[in-house]
Amino acid sequence: MFKQISTSSLLNKVKWYGTDGISLNDALLSDEIAATFAASAGLTCSIQEDNTFGAFSPASVTLDYCLDTERITMFLTNMYDVIWLVVLAYEQAGPDADYDQFWTDLEAKTENVWGISAGLLLDPNHDRAISAYAFNTVQADNGTTIWKTTARCRSAGSIGFILIPEE
């Protein structure tokens, strides 16, 4: 897409944002036209980071092997955690449980279950109570284009903070 819109005088003035689907994408950087446009537009993308401090690295490596992927991502570990959580809640609720009972059991499981990607505790909005994100920006660097981590966000419950890496 960035290659196709690189000549647009209107779209090259837009500040572009993305998520984990494009963050750290090597294919974007390998296309000189797209990478140059992304750098000039300051493309910044968020991606979830491991906030378990490596506690579940062996499980992540096993998951990576089973899925036959080049690089395990937090998206994949989150999906694994969600499936695992649903199975645990279904096991507790039973096959005859209605939606309300299943949801109650699922919420109860989040209070004491840790997945590969972190604690699964939900906040009152049903978002993850514990999270860690990096914000990566496409930047020109000595004649090449790179992804650079420009900020990190950490939160636990109602406490959150943003870290700006030093230059």
Q: In this predicted model, what pLDDT tens digit does every residue of 106-156 receive, in sequence order?
A: 888 877 777 776 677 777 777 777 777 889 999 998 889 999 999 888 777
Are 86 and 71 found together in one domain? yes
> Both 36 and 70 in a single domain?
no
Clarify whether residues 22 and 44 are in a common domain: yes
Give the Cα separation of 84 and 37 in Å (integer): 41
Give the pLDDT score at 71.
62
| Residue 148 maps to a domain | yes
Same-domain status, 73 and 89: yes
Residue-range definition of the domain harbouring residue 62: 57-110
Is pTM, for the whole model, over 0.75?
no
In a domain, 28, yes or no: yes
pLDDT digits (tens, 9 = 90+) for 1-31: 777 777 777 777 788 888 888 888 889 899 9
Q: What is the pLDDT of residue 167?
A: 64
- Label residue 35 by pLDDT band (50, 70, 90): very high
Please tell me whether residues 45 and 82 are part of one structural domain.
no
- Provide the b/e sequence for 9-38 (b: ≥16 CB within 10 Å): eeeeeeebebebebbebeebbeeeebbbbb
For residue 8, tell me if it sits in a domain: no
67 in any annotated domain:
yes
The residues, any chain, with a CB within 8 Å of residue 106's CB and separated by 6 or more, are 85, 86, 89, 93
In a domain, 71, yes or no: yes
Q: How many domains does the chain have?
A: 2
| Residue 3 forms part of a structural domain | no
Does the structure show a pLDDT above 80 at 34?
A: yes
The pLDDT score that the predictor gives to residue 19 is 83
